[in-house]
Structure 1
Amino acid sequence: MAAALELFVRQGYASTTLEDVAAATPVSRQTIYNHFGDKETLFLSVIDEHLSATLETLREATAHFPSELPDPEVYLNELARRIMATFLHPRTAALRLLLQTEGPRNPQLTQLWRQRVAAPVWSELIGQLARLAHGGALLIDDPARAAGHFVALVNGTVWEMTELGTFAVYHPPELDDPALDAALRSAVGLFVRGYAPGDRPAG
């Protein structure tokens, strides 16, 4: 899968053939054909693998609190770190680059990404925030909108620290970097204060 993704990014989806993928792997061309059949099936396998890894990473945050409602800030700090881990993963960067370059020419790739990765991951995030709201830890009446706010804060942290010079754009920070940890905690704190139960309308 890694070889296929690398070829898709380097050569473009349209220019990459199953023969190219076979040549870049230790298996025979016939094995590639027998297993995948066509290029779209191969691409689906690449993004399905990415989805499985991403959902596993996010769900591990839930596994840390299996039986009782967690402190929302502690829980969301862990979730933010796991979202950041997916953002910074080389596979995520490669897939995003592929979609940016190939999406306008091959809109079906963008559609596949939305259906097979973005929608399931979004659903997982909404479910995790809804759990906090249901238990009363946060005041949220629209978990989907809250998920958008949360992801925007986490993603904005990466943007600020790369585009504005804390880290080089092409050398993102390690997850245990103290500056990144402090920035994420600040973002999570802002989110929790914004959705804390109190005498205000739900958001």
Structure 2
Amino acid sequence: MDKRQAILEAAFTVFARRGYAQACVKEIAEEAGVAKPTVYNHLADKENLFRHAMEAAADAVRAENLAAVERMRDPGDDLRAALEDGACRMLQVCCSERARALRWLTYAQVAGFPDLIEAVQGRTSHGLADALADRLARLVLSGRLRPCEPALAAEQFLALLTGPLEARSRLGTRKVPAAEVREVAAAATDTFLRAYGAAAPEAG
């Protein structure tokens, strides 16, 4: 890991632990194992450090989500199981400590960083929706899902996941148990396939 990446990861850890106002560059430098001037050499000031640390964390969450969606590329014979597995993995990413801290910091600092919500969501939610739409389009082309608009189907599938999750987590204030994550994934998959699953061929 290079120094800049180490600094950004350490910064996110400290910001998540302390909040933006209470975090100090000295503690971030200690967390990263570098000298304080090294932090300034790479990121200039605390505001710039915060922005880049948030973007790096959002990129990490996106990479984890894209890995979950990628598993849907070849669903095998059991489409329901593949979709449910991908849904469960996306929810696990959403429930991770990093993702929860990212959401908390984004909304806590919206007054001082009004463009932060768009920057974070552009790296996480939007990128995930595009990747999922691509996977669903391939399933439509192969006849595994009925003809539909993949972008809309992806949007609705994600809504089926995030809506119940937000309610169960009380908008991020409570960690959702693994059993509940699986329950949400199963229910979302069932509802999605009822709407978009390809009709079984009629017996002739």
Structure 1, gaps ≥5 residues long: none
Q: Which residue of 2 aligns with 1:62?
A: 70
State TM-score, norm by structure 2.
Answer: 0.75
- The one of 135, 147, 165 aligned to 2:154: 147
- Distance of aligned partners of 1:112 and 1:161 in 2 relative to their CA distance in 1, 3 Å threshold: closer
* CA separation of 1:61 and 1:105: change in aligned 2, threshold 3 A: closer
Pair 1:106–1:14, CA change in 2 (3 A): farther
Q: TM-score, normalised by structure 1?
A: 0.76
Tell me which amino acid in the other structure corresponds to 2:174. Answer: Y
Aligned mates of 2:110, 2:42 — CA distance in 1: 25
Q: What letter corresponds to residue 107 of structure 2 in structure 1?
A: Q
Q: For 1:137, what is the secondary structure of its paired residue?
A: coil
* SS in structure 2 at match of 1:107: coil
Deviates more, 1:34-43 or 1:70-79: 34-43
CA contact (8 A) 1:69 1:132 kept: no
Aligned partners of 1:157, 1:26: CA distance in 2, in Å?
40
Tell me: CA distance 1:131–1:85, structure 2 relative to 1, closer, same or farther (3 Å). Answer: same
Deviation at 1:190, TM superposition (A): 1.1
Rounded Cα–Cα distance in structure 1 between residues aligned with 2:20 and 2:120: 14
**Offset at 1:6?**
3.9
Partner of 2:55: 47
Aligned residues of 1:129 and 1:143 also touching (Cα < 8 A)? yes
Name which of 112, 129, 140 aligns with 2:136.
129
Q: Deviations over 1:68-87 (max 9, x none)?
A: 76543122111101111111
Q: Which amino acid aligns with 1:79?
A: G
Q: Which amino acid aligns with 1:193?
A: R
Contact 1:72 1:192 in 2 (8 A): no
Task: Report the alpha carbon displacement of residue 156 of structure 1 after superposing the two structures with TM.
Answer: 2.8
* Alpha-carbon contact 1:103-1:109 (below 8 Å) kept: yes
Higher relative contact order (CA 8 A, sep 6+): 1
Name stretches of at least 5 consecutive residues in structure 2 with no aligned partner. Answer: 1-7
CA contact (8 A) 1:77 1:185 kept: yes
Shift of 1:95: 0.8
Is the 2:69–2:131 contact (alpha carbons within 8 Å) kept by the matching residues of 1?
no
Q: What is the aligned length?
A: 191
Change beyond 3 A, Cα 1:40–1:69: farther
How far apart are residue 115 of structure 1 and its match? Answer: 3.0
Instruction: State the 1:145 CA deviation.
Output: 1.4
Residue of structure 2 in register with 1:171 after alignment: 175
Counterpart of 2:15 (choices 8, 13, 16) is 8
User: Contact conserved, 2:69 with 2:135, CA < 8 A, in 1?
Assistant: no
State the one-letter code of the partner of 1:72.
Answer: L
Tell which deviates more after alignment, 39-48 or 71-80: 39-48
SS of the residue 1:48 aligns to: helix
1 CA distance for matches of 2:82 and 2:97?
25
Stretch moving more, 27-36 or 77-86: 27-36
